[in-house]
Structure 1
Amino acid sequence: MNKRERFYAAVAGEPVDRPPLSVWMHFVTPYMDGQQAAERHCEFFRQYDWDLAKAVSDYRHPMPDGMETIETAADMGRITVQSMDHPTYANQIALLNGIRAELGEDWPVIDTTFDPIQQILRHAGFSTMQIILDNPEAAKPMLEAATETVILYMRELEKNGVDGVFYSTRAAAQEDCVQGFTQDAFEELMRPYDLAILEETKGVVRMLHACKSHLDLERVADYPHEVLSWAAHDKTCPTIAEMRPRTDKCIMAGIDQARVIEQSRPEIRHDIDEALAVTGGQNFILAPGCTFGSNAPAHVLDTIAEYGRDWKAA
């Protein structure tokens, strides 16, 4: 199978020669334009021959002129819908188009984006989360603006032929998690906006990434998605074995991104074996539970790439 055939078969739960394999990391690219960032990504994809060309998102949702962070509830009202001409979005589209031009049609191109609260706080700083939680009514126009901006961006991705979107949301993170949400806050400040974006994204493969720890995956079980990703090795999260009977979606997991940088080759292979034993390598994408650290040593990446590609379905 080529990479495109393997990816779409895995997503659909159809037989594959082996599960698709993907690892991603940040390349410190915000100072680059989209084409330069595409070249950096493609070097990494080709070096390890990953099955998915998954781009990271280093360009941040802009803040209003003269505003560095959110200091008051009133500040949230200054954040408005953004044009797709803004460099944040234009550069990311150029990055994705550059990857496609460089790698061709047989390599699935996946973008990464974030829930509306993350869109804002990844620039304003996560220390401002409490202002949102304390002032939900004042936060809603800001979240609506961020949601509309992401929806506009999703339409651009579909027009540009992107295969999938890795949608990172912290909606499933409970209040025991740093930057997690109570059930009430989830229902009011996360769920409506996530659903609006994911409904709009139905033209591509929706890869729902439940980010962080202390996850209640039942919160997002009815979110529209084709692929489910989470940190399955985190002791506060469900395991792959626990989730396989609970979802018919393609599972994307198997590599412990928190420990893998310090793991031996046999330990990495053991984790891969466990994931494949549970899933049979079907309806499954072998991948980390979140972004790899850019300090990952070559032998770690080599082991994942080589061992993952050597596996064959029975």
Structure 2
Amino acid sequence: MAQLSKRERVDAALKGEALDRVPVSAWRHFLDEENNMDDLAAVSLKHFHDFDWDWLKINPRATYYAEAWGNKYDFSDYDSVLPRLLEGPLNSPADLEKIQLINPTGGVFAEHLDLVKKVKAGVGNAHVLQSVFSPLSVLGFLVARSEQHRIDLDVQAQHDGLRRYFKENPEGVHAALKNIATTLGQYGAAAINEGASGLFFAIVKIAREGVLTEEQYEEFGRPYDLQVLEAVQGADFN
């Protein structure tokens, strides 16, 4: 059969149609570049072209969603892919009222919408996906307070924090998740307007045995995941 374009190859795979070959892509964190959108766009595009990937999944820094709601980090001190947390808006379950709707095209979101635009300009007709963490994943970053900066302890602090907040202020958790989900849905739609074909929606280290019960995820996870996904339901490639 005739050779397909990158976009045609992915589209055909999504439809279950005949392919000239299986579409391929891969991604990683670029810690040295992830705080500068020009640098991150350039290194992402270099890997895309050097390895001839069929689509480009943007891999932004893991903390930018939590930064949008006020977390501050020391980017000179990483353990694995996580910088050291300096401070954030949540120090107790009573603080959940601080997690309000925010501008989905301002601040750190504006930087990453510009990243979408820069990347899209460099991939030809290929699909681009912007990464978005689930609302519960974002809340996990906001509630985590680890005594020592080490990625396994940071992740455990997310899990411990979520369980504590569920128990002590479930109503506040729901209100915060609603605001996060609404904002992320609007941000996802804005990313598509800037050229993304859809979202890479990541549930980060939560939907696994031993972290939350199925009942907890059904209550605090799934409804807000669906809210974000429904906001980008018409996208070409989620």
Shared fold by TM > 0.5?
yes
Q: Of the candidates 204, 213, 216, which is equivalent to residue 235 of structure 2?
A: 204
Letter in 2 for 1:197: V
Q: Of the candidates 4, 7, 22, which is equivalent to residue 7 of structure 2?
A: 4
Structure 1 vs Structure 2: percent identity of aligned residues? 26
| Alpha-carbon separation, structure 2, partners of 1:55 and 1:156 | 15
| Alpha-carbon separation, structure 1, partners of 2:52 and 2:226 | 34
Aligned equivalent of 1:162? 196
Report how far residue 201 of structure 1 moved. Answer: 1.1
Aligned equivalent of 1:130? 163
Aligned equivalent of 2:207? 173
Letter in 2 for 1:25: R
How many residue pairs end up in the alignment?
202
Aligned equivalent of 1:60? 65
Letter in 1 for 2:119: I
* Alpha-carbon contact 1:10-1:16 (below 8 Å) kept: yes
Report how far residue 31 of structure 1 moved. Answer: 2.3
Report how far residue 165 of structure 1 moved. Answer: 1.1
CA RMSD, 1 decimal: 2.2
1:189 aligns with 2:220: yes
1:43 aligns with 2:43: no
| Alpha-carbon separation, structure 2, partners of 1:65 and 1:159 | 27
SS of 1:77's equivalent? helix
Aligned equivalent of 2:119? 99
Alpha-carbon displacement from aligned partner over 1:240-290 (angstroms, at most 9, x marks no partner) = xxxxxxxxxxxxxxxxxxxxxxxxxxxxxxxxxxxxxxxxxxxxxxxxxxx
- What's the TM-score once normalised by structure 1's chain length? 0.59
Counterparts of 1:213-292 in structure 2, within 5 Å, are none
Q: From the superposition, tell whether residues 40 and 170 of structure 1 become closer, same or farther in structure 2 (CA, over 3 Å).
A: closer
Q: Where does structure 1 lack aligned partners over 5 or more consecutive residues?
A: 208-314
SS of 1:120's equivalent? helix
* Alpha-carbon contact 2:198-2:232 (below 8 Å) kept: no
| Alpha-carbon separation, structure 2, partners of 1:129 and 1:21 | 36
1:146 aligns with 2:180: yes
Report how far residue 43 of structure 1 moved. Answer: 1.1
Letter in 2 for 1:122: F
Aligned equivalent of 2:35? 31
Q: Of the candidates 104, 114, 134, which is equivalent to residue 133 of structure 2?
A: 114
Q: Where does structure 2 lack aligned partners over 5 or more consecutive residues?
A: 73-86, 145-154
- What's the TM-score once normalised by structure 2's chain length? 0.77
